[in-house]
Amino acid sequence: MADKLAGQPVPKERIINLPRLVSDYFSFEPDPSVPTQRVAFGTSGHRGGAMKKSFNENHVLAITQAVCEYRNEKGYKGPLYMGIDSHALSTPAQMTALRVCAANKVTVRIAKDDEYTPTPLVSFAILQHNRVSTETADGIVITPSHNPPEDGGFKYNPPNGGPADTDVTAVVEKRANEILEKGLQDVKALSYEEALRSPYVEPYDFITPYVESLKEIIDIDAIKQSGLRLGADPLGGSALGVYKKIKEVYDLNMEIVNPYIDPTFSFMTLDHDGKIRMDCSSPYAMASLVRLKEDYDIAFGNDTDADRHGIVTPAGGLMNPNHYLSVAIWYLFKHRTAWPDGLKIGKTLVSSSMIDRVAKEIGREVYEVPVGFKWFVDGLYEGWLGFGGEESAGASFLRFDGAVWSTDKDGIIMNLLAAEIKAVTGRDPAEIYADFETSFGKSYYARIDAAATPEQKAKLKGLSPEDIKVEDLAGEKILGIFTNAPGNGAPIGGLKLVTENGWVAMRPSGTEDIYKIYAESFLSQDHLANIQRSAQQIVTELIS
């Protein structure tokens, strides 16, 4: 059930105390013997809070030292591109990281003029550098993504430009915790002033090369000639400077909503649980822009590091991310005529099966992987995936000529693609998706949570197809049982069951005593509820 203030302006009593937050970052020292205070890389790097002692200066000192040692062992001699978003802890964390990089004689390129840098621009910069230089570059993005204002995050992107896979993060995480356990004695660090005076910190223009190259992946001319009224809401995040530059370079008919930075994010509307969260896929967090939907032909938002997208149409309001992914895939593979015929469509196993039905109609193979954008990095980098997208509103795709653009999620190009679709077809993505429901059936999709102890979560994560003895799910014969993704064979960390008209996937949470149930039906809302109930019964019997 949603909080009673969900979708409403932030009350003053829920605005964070910024001085206290930053003080806690520098003052509190984590205890590495406490599991929640150790470095832990999830699907999107290490995240935590300063007050909880899970994201403090000691963490950043240790992680940055571990990254410097890792890149030295790998022989990476090029610059490290470092981006930050507008969360309050991101700037202090960058200050800390620069002290360590400079002491380790690692050249770091940071945004000039104290700008913020979206995640996709870091990926873009790494790839552009490595195309022309023999000195290998990599990157760091300091962001907790769409998390509440009090959180911090730290992510490492290797030379392929995408989020690091577990073979990298396991090494960095282990070494960082060793450094914490040894009281930071292995950390090399200058003072902040010494770091800035050193030759190892270089200002860099992330925005201009990215914006000027947009015409290589988006039909900007079609958007401009259409005269579409566009609304862009960076949600107080790092995309603000990018949209300003897009207006300057391309003179689009685009209004920037909330054109300012406020680390308290007090201009937001509260998310479903009453927290401030810059989630551009949430109708509650996006309520302000949705209320303006009739003012624009297409409106869109980004989370704070701009790796996610949210599309708003006049008639439909905020599009379900799964719906937009389906339309984006259909449009791209119909209109990118220079793309090779064999390009595949990347989707996570908890994304809508509408994507599979669209893929079948356009004659393209689906590459289905576990949750996490890292699984698409190689395909985009090597050029055999035309598109990679996940249900949580993150995606990227190739340039017009089939060359790689970014290997991390890019919410900016996904937003501009919505405008291109409207400009070229005369119809917005929501209208096109309505046709899909007529042709392929209506999708009923939801994610719910169920309680589980740590022991039960471990059992769920360790299941094999042979453990499943039942043959039916919600009255339909089970056609597929998966504990590994069909696309790449990687463990999904849970279980997926597929029937003719529905599916369900169950994965344990990495941070809470719950497991997540993703389900979809192409029959009815009641059938979806039956799938959810049946799945919980099956799992309960297996893990109790």
Positive or negative: CA dihedral 386, 307, 7, 513: positive
pLDDT average, residue stretch 232-236: 97
Last residue of a domain, one of 189, 209, 229: 209
Of the candidate ranges 115-129, 140-154, 370-384, 455-469, the one whose mean pLDDT is the lowest: 455-469
Nearest-angstrom CA–CA distance, 272 and 8: 10
Check pLDDT > 90 for residue 336: yes
The number of beta carbons lying within 10 Å of the beta carbon of residue 513 is 13
Last residue of a domain, one of 192, 209, 226: 209
Check pLDDT > 90 for residue 223: yes
Nearest-angstrom CA–CA distance, 103 and 184: 14
Pairing of strands 385-390, 344-348: parallel
Nearest-angstrom CA–CA distance, 538 and 544: 10
In the prediction, which pLDDT does 100 show? 98
Last residue of a domain, one of 147, 175, 209: 209
In this structure, are residues 55 and 49 in contact, taking their beta carbons and an 8 Å threshold?
Answer: yes
Check pLDDT > 70 for residue 306: yes
Find the domain containing 204 and state its range: 16-209
Q: Is residue 438 a part of any domain in this protein?
A: no
Of the candidate ranges 19-23, 66-70, 188-192, 448-452, the one whose mean pLDDT is the lowest: 448-452
In the prediction, which pLDDT does 236 show? 96
CATH of the domain at 145: 3.40.120.10
Task: Output the average pLDDT for the chain.
Answer: 96
Nearest-angstrom CA–CA distance, 205 and 358: 39
CATH of the domain at 519: 3.30.310.50
In this structure, are residues 492 and 485 in contact, taking their beta carbons and an 8 Å threshold?
Answer: yes
Q: What is the pLDDT of residues 53-90, one digit of tens each?
A: 999 999 999 999 999 999 999 999 999 999 999 999 99
Q: Is residue 289 a part of any domain in this protein?
A: no
Q: Is residue 429 a part of any domain in this protein?
A: no
Q: Is residue 386 a part of any domain in this protein?
A: no
In the prediction, which pLDDT does 511 show? 66
pLDDT average, residue stretch 514-541: 95
Q: Is residue 357 a part of any domain in this protein?
A: no
In the prediction, which pLDDT does 2 show? 80
Amino acid identity of 198?
A: S
In this structure, are residues 494 and 528 in contact, taking their beta carbons and an 8 Å threshold?
Answer: no
Nearest-angstrom CA–CA distance, 372 and 162: 11
**pTM for this entry:** 0.96
Task: Work out the percent of the chain whose per-residue pLDDT is above 70.
Answer: 100
In this structure, are residues 244 and 250 in contact, taking their beta carbons and an 8 Å threshold?
Answer: no
Q: Is residue 457 a part of any domain in this protein?
A: yes
Q: Which of 437, 433, 196, 409 is nearest to 323 (CA)?
A: 433
Q: Is residue 129 a part of any domain in this protein?
A: yes
Q: What is the pLDDT of residues 369-425, one digit of tens each?
A: 999 999 999 999 999 999 999 999 999 999 999 999 999 999 999 999 999 999 999
Check pLDDT > 70 for residue 220: yes
In the prediction, which pLDDT does 514 show? 87
pLDDT average, residue stretch 150-179: 96
Check pLDDT > 80 for residue 244: yes
Both tokens assigned to 400: 């017009």
Q: Is residue 66 a part of any domain in this protein?
A: yes
- Ramachandran angles phi, psi of 166, nearest 5°: -65, -25
Give bridge partners of residue 256 from the DSSP assignment.
232
Catalytic residue set: 145
Total structural domains within the chain: 2
Which residue matches tokens 């471990």?
Answer: 458
In the prediction, which pLDDT does 42 show? 82
Q: What is the DSSP string of 487-519?
A: TT--EEEEEEEE-SSEEEEEEE-SSSSEEEEEE
pLDDT average, residue stretch 250-269: 95
